[in-house]
Structure 1
Amino acid sequence: MKNVLLIKEIYSEAFRNLGSKIAKHSFKALAFFCASTYFIALYAFAFRVSTGFAFD
């Protein structure tokens, strides 16, 4: 019985820390994606302005 409780404690501690790591990495990926799409849109706007595109 003692071994079962020890294994339960080991697994519960491992999965407790796993959630925060997954959230941290997913937020970093989301921040990188948002920043890259913002700079792509900024580049496209600057390209259109420099080529004389008429914004009607």
Structure 2
Amino acid sequence: MKKLLLIRELYIEAFKNFGNIIIRNSFKIYSWMCIALIFVVLYAFIFRISTGFIFD
């Protein structure tokens, strides 16, 4: 739980002093898209391992 709070605090601090609201929102969207894509990759990898896919 402590690591989750630390990540949350880093996220808040990263976007606190951005000047332009358009740039701030676009970076927030970009960061959430990256997190979502990482979870998609992890899901695909775990799915392949669970179905017995042979990695050559």
Shared topology, TM-score over 0.5? yes
Matched residue count = 38
Q: Distance in 1 between matches of 2:21 and 2:27?
A: 10
Larger radius of gyration: 1
Query: Take 2:54 and 2:23, find their aligned partners in 1: how far apart are those partners?
Result: 44
User: Deviating runs (4+, > 2 A) in structure 1?
Assistant: none
Q: 2:20 — aligned with what?
A: 20
Identity %: 50
- Structure in which a larger fraction of residues adopt helix: 1
- TM-score, normalised to structure 2, is 0.65
Instruction: Kindly indicate whether residue 37 of structure 2 is the aligned counterpart of residue 33 of structure 1.
Output: no
Between 1 and 2, higher relative CO (CA 8 Å, sep ≥ 6) is seen in: 2
TM-score, with structure 1 as normaliser: 0.65
Cα RMSD of the aligned pairs, angstroms, is: 1.0
Structure 1 unaligned residues grouped into runs of 5+: 1-18
Task: Give structure 2 stretches of 5+ with no counterpart.
Answer: 1-18
